[in-house]
Amino acid sequence: MKLSFTLNHNALTLETEPDRRVIDLLREDLGLTGTKEACGEGECGACTIRVNKELRLACLMIAAQIEGCSIETIEGLAGPDQALHPVQEAFVQAGAVQCGFCTPGMVMAVTDLLEAIPDPDETQIRKALSGNLCRCTGYQKIMDAAQLAAKKENKCLP
């Protein structure tokens, strides 16, 4: 099928099978390998992207579902000149990155949380992360990163 959608703020039209998984489309066809596959069945959250500003799992979507949609992946989060998004910066500074395989999905989840709730409490953060598995960190520094990012976005920090 001819598929048209917006990917990280750029309009795109391409030819693909309608049942092509979105994760394969992104990773294999478009070279955007920041979106990770770690279970392929919606359990781990490593393939978290945003579709029309809502969190979605790229392993559970097929190409036909994103026709006309606006897709955001981890690669689209940084600003011009690759300036880090505050959430990305907070992950680096808080030591929230270990092996890094869950990181893109986690960053997407935290970014989405902070857009909805700019100053989340601990429980809200834990709930927001509950769809994303991490096997390295024990989540504590990811929580720290979310709190640090909230402070950055609320301009409490330089």
Partner 1 sequence: MNLISKTSPSVGASQARPDALNKVMGHEKFAADYYGPRHLWAGVRRAGIPHGRLISVSTEAAKQVPGVKKILTHKDVNGSNRQGVIQKDQPVLVDDRIRHCGDALALVIAETSQALETALALISFEYEALPGIFTTAEAFQYGAPLIHPTHPGGNCLLSGQLVSGKGLEAFEACDAIVELTIDLPRQEHAYLETECGEAVYEKGELSIVVSTQTPFRDRAETAQAIGISPEKLRIIAPYCGGGFGGKDGITVQSLLGLAAMACPDVPIKMMWSREESFLAGPKRHAASLHYRLGAKQNGVFHALEVRADFDTGPYDHLGGAVLGLALEHAGGPYRIPHAAIQGKAVYTNNTIGGAFRGFGVPQVAAAMEQAVDLMAEKLSLSPLDIRMKNAVQKGDKIPSGTTLKTSTGIRECLARLKAHPLYREADAWKKKAPAHMLRGSGMACALHGMGYGPFVPDTAIAKLELTKQGRFKIYFGVVDMGQGNGVTFLQMAGDLLNQNYENLELVLPDTGLTLPCGSASASRSTYTFGNALIQAVETMKTRLTQRAADSLMVGDGDEFCFIPGHLRHLPTGREFPLAQLAALLGPEERITISRYRALASKETVTQDTALQMHGIPHTVFSYTAHLAHVEIDTLTGGITVCNYTAVTDCGRLINPDLYQQQMQGGIAQGLGYALYEDFITDKGRLLTANLSTYIIPGALDIPPMALSSVDLQENTGPFGMKGVGEICIDPVLPAVANAVADACGGGRCRQWPLTCERMLEILTIPVCPPGADMNRSLI
The beta strand positions in 25-92, using DSSP E, are 48-51, 54-57, 70-72
Tokens 């391409």 label which residue? 14
For residues 146 and 67, what is the distance between their CA atoms, to the nearest angstrom? 32
Q: Per CB under 8 A, does 136 bind partner 1?
A: yes
How many beta carbons lie within 10 A of that of residue 43, not counting itself?
12
The verdict on 16 binding partner 1 (CB under 8 A) reads no
Question: Residue 101 interacts with partner 1 (CB under 8 A)?
Answer: yes
**Cα 130 from Cα 123, distance rounded (Å):** 10
* 103 interacts with partner 1 by CB under 8 A: yes
138 binds partner 1 (CB under 8 A): yes
Total binding residues toward partner 1, as defined by CB under 8 A: 57
Strands (E), the chain: 2-7, 10-15, 48-51, 54-57, 70-72
Minimum gap (Å) between residue 1 Cβ and partner 1: 16
26-55 binders of partner 1 (CB under 8 A) = 27-28, 31-41, 43-44, 46
- Contacts with partner 1 by CB under 8 A lie at 24, 27-28, 31-41, 43-44, 46, 73-75, 77-78, 82-84, 88-89, 91-93, 95, 97-104, 107, 125-127, 129-130, 132-143
